Amino acid sequence: MSILTTGIPVFNGEKYIRAALESLHAQTRPPDRVVVFDNCSTDKTREVVEAFKGLKNLELRTSSRNIGGLPNFNRTLELASETDYLHILSCDDLIKPDFYGRLTSALDPVSGQAMAFSRLSIIDESGIIVSEESASTVPSLRVWAIPNFLARQCELRHVYCQSVLLKTVRKPSPVNFETDWLQAADVVFFAEWARLTGLVVEIQEPLCLFRVHSGSFTSGNMFHLERWVMEEWRAMQRVAALIDERRIARLLRNLKLKCIFAARSRVKMGVVGQAQPAYAREIAERVRATVGEIPWRLGCAAVKIREYHRRWSSPANG
């Protein structure tokens, strides 16, 4: 019988980790092993984990010093050679009760390493769904061609770590999270995993709950231009380089990515502009210099058109 292991990297996760453990306990196909990697928390994370009695196979491993976020994620990858399936669940996120059942069923017929992912819902600090990727009509399972999956990743329509199940077949992970990334490490990691293992399956239903809150990585990086904005461009370029295509196609893809990056950056300017207008202007100047004037204008125009469409298609406007 296949062994399924969940690794939970955590630092100061006392507020949410119990809910994460409860979502594992509620699985129709429960994990055979759950390992919490505590990265020298200074709150009551360890007490919460030790007091949780819903999982008999729960282990707590503590670091003697804080090794950093991504190195702690890499500790979970050390479990790959000890299990058939590995899931990395952030301490503040949740999975629906049939997450493991659906994803293992999709990968059971596969003989080698592979990955499956589900769509996701965005929840707030209290667990209320604020947005959700829609479920597809039949068929609900999609096998991705690797070039198409890489294109998706480099356009930042990427998969999120907590929504992915890795089939490791008791072999070491072929790639680790690169620790010089702070915001987009998962974009590069899953692109590399897909390229090296060759099979990606999507369950086209939202079975993962991704929590947005003030203590998240993204919130902490928001006012660091290199992390929050420019690292996205690095990731887009890095993943695009993995796609084998002719020179003309590569040039056209690069133009498309510039426009996407400009649009995403324009949206971020709107997020921070009211509180820090100087920072918003800095984002505009840096991104315009990176992509050029025409992609910048096209990206900004796309954002305006989308905002106009949303405004006039809202129920308030009939």
Confidence tier at 317 by pLDDT (50, 70, 90): low
**pLDDT per position as a tens digit, 163-175:** 999 999 999 999 9
132-136, 281-285, 288-292: segment of lowest average pLDDT: 132-136
Cis peptide before 139 (omega within 30 of 0): yes
What distances in angstroms separate CA 131 from CA 64, 128, 206, one per listed residue? 39, 9, 11
**pLDDT per position as a tens digit, 32-89:** 999 999 999 999 999 999 999 999 899 999 999 999 999 999 999 999 999 999 999 9
φ/ψ (deg, to 5) at 266: -65, -40
224 domain residue, yes or no: no
306 domain residue, yes or no: yes
Question: Which residue type sits at 166?
Answer: L
Beta bridge partners of 131: 122
CATH number of the domain bearing residue 95? 3.90.550.10
**Structure confidence at residue 135 (pLDDT):** 84
**Structure confidence at residue 218 (pLDDT):** 64
225 domain residue, yes or no: no
The overall average pLDDT reported for the chain is 93
199 domain residue, yes or no: yes
Residues 156 and 27 in one domain: yes
239 domain residue, yes or no: no
**Structure confidence at residue 219 (pLDDT):** 63
26-40, 141-155, 221-235, 288-302: segment of lowest average pLDDT: 221-235
Residues 75 and 190 in one domain: yes
Token representation of residue 70: 């991504």
Residues 130 and 28 in one domain: yes
Residues 177 and 293 in one domain: no
* 318 pLDDT higher than 60: no
**Structure confidence at residue 307 (pLDDT):** 83
Quick one: which H or E segment has residue 37? strand 33-38
Share of the chain above pLDDT 70, in %: 96
* 11 pLDDT higher than 70: yes
pTM for the model stands at: 0.93
**Structure confidence at residue 217 (pLDDT):** 60
Residues 154 and 285 in one domain: no
**Cβ atoms within 10 Å, residue 218:** 11
191 domain residue, yes or no: yes
Question: Are the C-beta atoms of 154 and 250 separated by less than 8 Å?
Answer: no
What domain count does the chain have?
2
**Rounded-to-integer distance, Cα 64 and Cα 40, Å:** 6
Q: Which domain holds residue 77?
A: 4-211
**Structure confidence at residue 137 (pLDDT):** 74
* 187 pLDDT higher than 60: yes
Three-point CA angle 262, 156, 118, nearest 5°: 150
Residues 61 and 175 in one domain: yes
**pLDDT per position as a tens digit, 220-269:** 688 889 999 999 999 999 999 999 999 999 999 999 999 999 999 999 99
* 122 pLDDT higher than 60: yes
Question: Are the C-beta atoms of 10 and 91 separated by less than 8 Å?
Answer: yes
**Structure confidence at residue 140 (pLDDT):** 86
182 domain residue, yes or no: yes
Higher-pLDDT residue of 1, 49: 49
